[in-house]
Structure 1
């Protein structure tokens, strides 16, 4: 895989998908359907998925591709693959809360090594460069010309006053009980993979997720956090969160700046 080409293609496709998503988001009405797992899906999910899938297959025809909206891809048996969530945070989209993202990532040998997270309604875009370090690009965005980028880096965590970010739509009592084990200065909530990016930029120190997620929900944000010096580990034993698991389902996990002294489950 030629990383420079990959990053260029991922960035362009994320912006094009973001434009399509925002066109539907800003319309008077859009159709919301329910998938077999009871989660919502919209025409924006499907349009963005078609656009990104076609672009990635055209650019990298020999690379396996996993996307949320193509269920047959879930049976893929590979440790190196491209993985896409065309619209992460569909509930945020449906409720017009803005915290939704386009996620595209490359997993190599079970590790997310390159990725992009674009939040079109927030005007924020985070991605790994060809060298693997992470940046935030500031808009306005042009799909053919890279704008000003700023390297991002995790915080030097103060364990006596941590900043915690948790899910906006999925926060529960178990999550609160775990967060209460830490000395927390402040906490915030965010939707979609933006939570990884808030840890990557140092806006938060810790993001615990005690709930169901799939690999396409996390791979791009995980790659961005890796490139900013952060870590993502399993909640149960604090070993690295790996990819290419059966049915692409994640266990509970913790994303954090390495200075955070993790508490036991």
Structure 2
């Protein structure tokens, strides 16, 4: 039997092509978490820039009322930040599954994603690369946290947030304060921004507890009934309050009413990265997988130390 060299060459070439296609498909389904962290930081900062640029020409709408009877506001800046952040991430990671507070927003397909500016990406050469299948990843985005306060020009509470979740667990969190130009970020077990370095325990005889200034529910009367020698710190934005805990400005961030997961995911990751924790009021781990309910109904306890001290209070 004679072997035709041309046939062998063609068959061999087909095998190589099939192998390369298979390999490329396999590679395409994986995402480099170090790159994703960098672009999450970049996206949060770009969203923050859009918010600042549009703070004086807002279109404000009401989505309805919260359970506390407060107007659930959304602004044109929320939408613009959402489109900017989602496009930035999707442009670099097309297979990414993203859940955003404003996911129903129709973004213009004609808007170009600007090229990454020099100096915007962090030098993460000291961090080892890690690849994860895109189907195991979910990214939660809050394009403008503390919208109500934003409309009142209480800009110190405003943040943009990105959270990377693997198998339902937050592992990367980014919280950007656009009006202070401060970006706090952490990747559990890998790296964190320098502002999250240990600052020591605040010397204070009374417990300091951060609660929502607009969604507090019955938490004040509950705490009055169960605690002595404590101080309430009313603040806005779950991102802002999570950082209060991470910075050791307060002993705990407590929340008793329902709260959306894009509000708390990034804070969850950052607190875990610096040795703290965030659970529901029954000490249950909060599931952030893509198929989970977007609303955490069972309250919130966020601490750096003595988490058990606050269990049972709510």
Residue 63 (structure 2) pairs with residue 15 (structure 1): no
Q: Would the aligned equivalents of 1:157 and 1:257 in 2 still touch at CA under 8 Å?
A: no
Mapped partners of 2:287, 2:200: distance in 1? 23
- Structure 2 residue corresponding to 1:175, chosen from 207, 211, 219: 219
Q: What does residue range 210-249 of structure 1 map to in structure 2 within 5 Å? A: 210-235=256-281, 237-244=282-289, 246-249=292-295
Mapped partners of 1:257, 1:182: distance in 2? 19
- Structure 1 residue corresponding to 2:138, chosen from 81, 85, 89: 81
Residue 239 (structure 2) pairs with residue 186 (structure 1): no
Could you list the runs of 5+ residues in structure 2 that have no partner in the other structure? Answer: 1-30, 66-70, 106-134
Residues 67 and 175 (structure 1), Cα distance of their counterparts in 2 relative to 1, 3 Å cut: same
Could you list the runs of 5+ residues in structure 1 that have no partner in the other structure? Answer: 73-77, 136-148
Q: Would the aligned equivalents of 2:210 and 2:233 in 1 still touch at CA under 8 Å?
A: yes
The CA deviation at 1:35 is: 2.1
Q: Would the aligned equivalents of 1:160 and 1:183 in 2 still touch at CA under 8 Å?
A: no
Tell me the matched-pair count.
243
Q: 2:302 matched to which residue of 1?
A: 255
- C-alpha RMSD of matched pairs (Å): 2.5
Residue 148 (structure 2) pairs with residue 94 (structure 1): no
Mapped partners of 1:249, 1:160: distance in 2? 35
The structure whose residues are more often helix, as a share, is: 2
The CA deviation at 1:161 is: 2.8
Mapped partners of 1:183, 1:114: distance in 2? 36
Q: Would the aligned equivalents of 2:52 and 2:179 in 1 still touch at CA under 8 Å?
A: yes
Q: Would the aligned equivalents of 1:182 and 1:263 in 2 still touch at CA under 8 Å?
A: no
Q: What does residue range 113-128 of structure 1 map to in structure 2 within 5 Å? A: 113-128=171-186
- For the residue of structure 1 that corresponds to 2:310, the secondary structure is coil
TM-score normalised over the length of structure 1: 0.82
Residues 154 and 63 (structure 1), Cα distance of their counterparts in 2 relative to 1, 3 Å cut: farther
Mapped partners of 1:154, 1:207: distance in 2? 18
Mapped partners of 2:197, 2:279: distance in 1? 20
Q: 1:143 matched to which residue of 2?
A: none
Mapped partners of 1:182, 1:64: distance in 2? 42
Residue 63 (structure 2) pairs with residue 35 (structure 1): yes
Q: What does residue range 140-219 of structure 1 map to in structure 2 within 5 Å? A: 149-153=194-198, 161-172=206-217, 174-180=218-224, 181-192=226-237, 193-219=239-265
- Structure 2 residue corresponding to 1:45, chosen from 61, 65, 78: 78
Q: Would the aligned equivalents of 1:64 and 1:82 in 2 still touch at CA under 8 Å?
A: yes
TM-score normalised over the length of structure 2: 0.70
Residues 259 and 184 (structure 1), Cα distance of their counterparts in 2 relative to 1, 3 Å cut: same
Farther-moved stretch of structure 1 (97-106 vs 38-47): 38-47
- For the residue of structure 1 that corresponds to 2:288, the secondary structure is coil
- CA deviation string 1:145-191 (max 9, x = no partner): xxxx334348658996322111122223x211333323444331221
Which structure has more RCO (C-alpha within 8 Å, separation ≥ 6)? 1
